[in-house]
Copies of this chain bind each other. A is one copy, B any other.
């Protein structure tokens, strides 16, 4: 739309917005005041309990959304990936969750009020936003189901498959897997397990010939078998109004 969109990454190209908006809405989006900011690793980008007035669109790096308990433990709710929205308390009130970077991370930021105004402006814009919120909710629901009703082994597999699929949807996956800078402690906090047990589960997945998680990368050894074993059905990751993936080579 502008020269800047060639010189700098533009929020309009984020997967959340890319599919659903026409040029007019994208121009409007460009006017909302999104700024690309960079955070170092292990930075607290938004703290649980603070007034929540910004929303984020991930651009690079890894972070997590988590709740912190009085005893110092934490529960990771999700790892927002490239092109996904972070808007924990959509548009009002104090945040119930923290947003923390795991690696160096860049994200677009805008005042939440700007987006709220956009809801009234264009039905298409509203639909895209609500679609993104619905997808986030679906992901949260899967994580909840994971914790409540799946064994540690399947739970671990399910999360890794989900992350891989989401990265593919953002064109950020590798050929045989994906880069994943999470530590086993991070995974443990997301899976409701101990880091030691995560280690056991990763070994088990490797020994069963499903996948390998080493040197900050996940390599599938038998992806189809793993999806079957984990009961992974990626339907919940689809953004409404979007056909499957924007990869160059669509899966039949």
A235 to B49, CA, bound (A): 10
Query: Which residues of chain B have C-beta atoms less than 8 A from A145's C-beta?
Result: 67, 69, 75, 77
Tell me whether B231 and A69 are in contact (CB under 8 A).
yes
Tell me whether B69 and A130 are in contact (CB under 8 A).
no
Query: Which residues of chain B have C-beta atoms less than 8 A from A241's C-beta?
Result: 92
Tell me whether B96 and A130 are in contact (CB under 8 A).
no
Tell me whether B119 and A126 are in contact (CB under 8 A).
yes
Tell me whether A144 and B75 are in contact (CB under 8 A).
yes
Tell me whether B67 and A130 are in contact (CB under 8 A).
no
For residue A148, which residue of chain B has the nearest CB?
B192
Contact bitstring A62-82, B, C-beta under 8 A = 1, else 0: 000001011001110100000
* Closest beta carbon of chain B to A248's beta carbon, Å: 25
A98 to B119, CA, bound (A): 28
Tell me whether B92 and A149 are in contact (CB under 8 A).
no
Looking at the complex, which of A131-139, A172-180, A198-206 is the stretch in contact with chain B? A131-139
Is A181 positioned at the interface, with any CB of B under 8 Å from its CB? no
Tell me whether B133 and A140 are in contact (CB under 8 A).
no
Is A196 positioned at the interface, with any CB of B under 8 Å from its CB? no
Contact bitstring A97-138, B, C-beta under 8 A = 1, else 0: 100000000000000000010011001001100110110011
* Closest beta carbon of chain B to A111's beta carbon, Å: 15
* Closest beta carbon of chain B to A96's beta carbon, Å: 5
For residue A123, which residue of chain B has the nearest CB?
B120
Query: Which residues of chain B have C-beta atoms less than 8 A from A90's C-beta?
Result: 130, 133-134, 137
Is A89 positioned at the interface, with any CB of B under 8 Å from its CB? yes
Pick from B93, B138, B142: contact of A134, CB under 8 Å: B93
Query: Which residues of chain B have C-beta atoms less than 8 A from A92's C-beta?
Result: 127, 130-131, 134, 240-241
Other contacts beyond A96-B141, A137-B137: 8, CB < 8 A: A90-B130, A92-B130, A97-B141, A116-B130, A137-B140, A140-B144, A143-B144, A148-B191
Q: List 29 A-B contacts (CB under 8 A).
A: A69-B231, A77-B141, A88-B137, A89-B137, A89-B138, A90-B134, A90-B137, A91-B134, A92-B130, A92-B131, A92-B134, A92-B241, A93-B238, A96-B138, A96-B141, A96-B235, A96-B236, A97-B141, A116-B123, A116-B130, A119-B119, A119-B120, A119-B126, A137-B140, A140-B140, A143-B144, A144-B144, A147-B192, A148-B191
